[in-house]
């Protein structure tokens, strides 16, 4: 479960709110798609949910834990796939996964089994002994996904996870999101591409200029407006790239 209440953030030296009074609740068992054009405030929101940035105001709860009051407690249930797939270049893939798994306190037998399972799924088994610096962008992305999952996070957060992923891996990732949510976990991911959101989400939220402009199930959004999600998205964000 993720709860945001009246969360705002303005970057230093900026006069506009990157995130503006955002209130949102995402339940366990749900895949939530956070949709918005570039610069809308998706990554800023995600960085606050994952504890990388501190909100100027408002509160955030992860699985019932207030992240400001108990940051380690909140972060321990989160698995995060950042948009830049920033992984340690100087390690081997397997070393990175072992390091992350150990940090989260995963028992070694479980960790080994999880790594094998996910590496096989994403066709990464053969390259795990290699240095991360030799990996392609897509391979780093897949490593980042595996690293986020080894501790079976109750809350899985992904920032633009499907950008630049090959079709096979994108398919596997979408299947995994479904599976993870069906096990009673929360999945939250951002995208500026409608097609992806439309296919995998239970609910979507549309953000523009830091404000949440629509939140609902896909069925309701479509039924209310009698238009496709695509035209709704284009109407809401018709002023271009969000700023
Ligand atoms: N580190 C930063 N410093 C200053 N402004 C930033 C920074 N990161 C993002 N912004 C601004 O905050 C707004 C929201 O950005 P962001 O959250 O990255 O949007 P999105 O992920 O939806 O593309 C944009 O106007 C962006 O220019
Ligand atoms: Mg972003």
Query: For 19, left (φ over 0), alpha (ψ -120 to 50), or beta?
Result: beta
Per the DSSP assignment, residues forming a β-bridge with 4 are 24, 60
CB atoms within 10 A of CB 41: 25
Q: Decide whether any atom of ligand 1 lies within 6 Å of the 93 Cβ.
A: no
Q: Which residue has the higher pLDDT, 153 or 213?
A: 153
Q: How far is CA 67 from the centre of its chain?
A: 17
Residue whose CA is at the smallest distance from ligand 1 atom 7: 11
Question: Is residue 205 within 6 Å of ligand 1 at its C-beta?
Answer: no
Could you tell me the two tokens for 225? 């407006």
Question: How high is the pLDDT of residue 232?
Answer: 73
Please tell me the residue having the least CA distance from ligand 1 atom 9: 44
Is the CB–ligand 1 distance for residue 43 below 6 Å?
Answer: yes
Q: Is the CB of 153 under 6 A from ligand 1?
A: no
The percentage of residues in the chain with a pLDDT greater than 70, rounded to a whole number, is: 95
Q: 211 has which bridge partners?
A: 208
CB of 38 shorter than 6 A to ligand 1:
yes
Nearest-CA residue for ligand 1 atom 1 is 11
| 3-state SS class at 19 | strand
User: Is the confidence at residue 207, as pLDDT, over 70?
Assistant: yes
Closest listed residue to residue 37, CA positions, set 231, 191, 163, 218 = 191
CA-closest residue to ligand 1 atom 2: 11
Percentage of the chain exceeding pLDDT 90: 76
Task: Give residue-wise pLDDT tens across range 97-147.
Answer: 999 999 999 999 999 999 999 999 999 999 999 999 999 989 999 999 999
Domains of the chain in start order, with CATH, are: 1-77+154-169+176-243 (3.40.50.300), 88-152 (no CATH)
Pick 238 or 36 by higher pLDDT. 36
Of the listed ligands, the closest to the CA of 83 is 2
Whether the per-residue pLDDT at 218 is higher than 70: the answer is yes
135-151 pLDDT per residue, tens: 998 999 999 999 999 99
Query: Which ligand is nearest to the Cα of residue 210, counting in written order?
Result: 1
- DSSP assigned state of 222: H
For residue range 52-64, list pLDDT tens digits in order.
Answer: 999 999 999 999 9
pLDDT at 134: 95
Tokens of 46: 């995600």
The answer to whether the beta carbons of residues 233 and 65 sit under 8 Å apart is no
- Quick one: pLDDT at residue 163? 85
What pLDDT is stored for residue 241 in this prediction?
46
Q: Report whether pLDDT(195) > 80.
A: no
Give the confidence band of 87 by pLDDT, cuts at 50, 70, 90: confident
Mean residue pLDDT of the chain comes to: 91
């Amino acid at each position: 479960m993720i709860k945001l209440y009246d969360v705002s953030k303005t970057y230093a030296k900026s006069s506009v709110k990157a995130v503006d009074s955002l209130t949102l609740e995402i339940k366990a068992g749900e895949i939530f798609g956070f949709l918005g054009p570039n610069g809308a405030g998706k990554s800023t929101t995600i960085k606050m949910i994952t504890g990388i940035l501190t909100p100027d105001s408002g509160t955030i709860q992860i699985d019932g834990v207030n992240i400001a009051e108990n940051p380690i407690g909140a972060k321990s249930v989160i698995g995060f796939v950042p948009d830049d797939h920033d992984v340690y270049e100087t390690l081997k893939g397997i070393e990175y996964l072992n390091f992350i798994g150990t940090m989260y306190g995963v028992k070694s037998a479980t960790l080994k089994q999880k790594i094998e399972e996910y590496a096989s799924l994403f066709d990464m088994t053969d390259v795990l002994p290699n240095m991360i610096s030799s990996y392609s962008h897509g391979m780093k992305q897949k490593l980042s996904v595996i690293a986020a999952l080894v501790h079976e996070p109750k809350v899985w957060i992904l920032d633009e996870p499907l950008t630049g992923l090959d079709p096979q891996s994108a398919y596997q990732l979408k299947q995994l999101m479904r599976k993870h949510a069906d096990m009673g976990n929360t999945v939250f991911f951002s995208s500026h591409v409608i097609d992806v959101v439309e296919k995998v989400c239970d609910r979507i939220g549309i953000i523009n200029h830091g404000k949440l402009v629509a939140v609902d199930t896909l069925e309701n959004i479509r039924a209310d407006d009698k238009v496709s999600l695509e035209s709704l998205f284009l109407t809401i964000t018709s002023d271009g790239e969000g700023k």
